[in-house]
Structure 1
């Protein structure tokens, strides 16, 4: 595990998301839109939203049809438009129009699950957390970090195996590696800096 961590830190030294945002609220909006939607497409949609609805109090007053039209190129846009308005309403009603800083409060927001909440904590506020998306789950299984298919189990196993100060750089590195190298169908093992120590569990 130590070798995996050190190599991840060496190749992905700066925790990075491939979403564009400048504050926790923008990150929350971008993450909602990015579900089943590429980061690249999400990044083409968010500038218009951030410009028109820069704060929760602006977004909670958004016209549903107008917002839905802005995000119409994104999958599940009908549900996402409803959730974004409902999230903004909840933020202003319960948190003084601010994004809360706890997993318990974040997961009470409409459509916000544990993975999204953890990413908001780590990249929005710099609070140590582990966000387990499909890439992290796949990488954890292939590397033998976990044999579970449950995100919450993998989250806890990573937390037990990795020092808290490395949680963010580690899981964000796994996301990038899973997205660009250790792909679901055709992993690029020949290009992988973990190739010599990876047990390749489940790789055909």
Structure 2
């Protein structure tokens, strides 16, 4: 496992998301929009969205139909539009229109779950949080790091195995690896740098 972790960190040395954002609020909005929506599509949407609603203050005052139309190419856009307005209102009412930097406060916001909160803490505030999406869960299971794919178990396994200073780079590496190499239906094992030591490689 130590060798697997080192190879992940070597091949994905810089913690990276494929979402475009400039601050914690933009990242939070992008993460909510990206649920069941590709990062490419999300980035197209947010490029226009943030020009009209650059902060929580503007988005809190958005008309539902206007916001919904802007994000209509994204899946579940009705629910997401409703959550984004409610989220922005909550930020302004309880946090001075700023995104809080604690897990407890984040998960109280409309539309924000544990995964979103942890990814936000990691990339928005530089904290050693571990965000577990479907890619992280799948790859962690396949490489033998976790006994199953339940997010809370995967998160705990990563925290127990990976040093704090490497956790963000590691879980973001798993996201990229799961998205581009260790795919759900057809993993590209012949192109994988873990091929010789992965316990679930497909020959």
TM-score by length of 2: 0.98
Give how far 1:2 is off: 1.3
Gaps of 5+ in 2: none
* TM superposition outliers: structure 1 runs of 4+ over 6 Å: none
Residues in 1 aligned to 2:164 and 2:124: alpha-carbon distance in whole angstroms? 17
Residue 49 of structure 2 is aligned to residue 52 of structure 1: no
Aligned twin of 2:123? 123
Aligned twin of 1:135? 135
Cα distance per residue 1:11-42 (max 9 Å; x no partner): 11000000000000000000010000000000
Aligned twin of 1:181? 181
Residues in 2 aligned to 1:94 and 1:176: alpha-carbon distance in whole angstroms? 35
Residues in 2 aligned to 1:11 and 1:148: alpha-carbon distance in whole angstroms? 24
Residues in 2 aligned to 1:91 and 1:7: alpha-carbon distance in whole angstroms? 40
Aligned twin of 2:86? 86
Cα distance per residue 1:176-201 (max 9 Å; x no partner): 00000000010000000011110017
Q: What secondary structure, in the 3-state scheme, does the structure 2 residue paired with 1:167 have?
A: helix
1:40-119 superposed matches below 5 A: 40-119=40-119
Residues in 1 aligned to 2:49 and 2:88: alpha-carbon distance in whole angstroms? 13
Residues in 2 aligned to 1:85 and 1:179: alpha-carbon distance in whole angstroms? 30
Q: What secondary structure, in the 3-state scheme, does the structure 2 residue paired with 1:85 have?
A: helix
Aligned twin of 1:200? 200
Cα distance per residue 1:149-171 (max 9 Å; x no partner): 31011101110011011100000
Residues in 2 aligned to 1:156 and 1:95: alpha-carbon distance in whole angstroms? 29
Cα distance per residue 1:36-59 (max 9 Å; x no partner): 000000010001111100010110
The RMSD of aligned alpha carbons is 1.0
Gaps of 5+ in 1: none
Aligned twin of 2:166? 166
* Residue-pair matches, total: 203
Residues in 2 aligned to 1:174 and 1:4: alpha-carbon distance in whole angstroms? 11
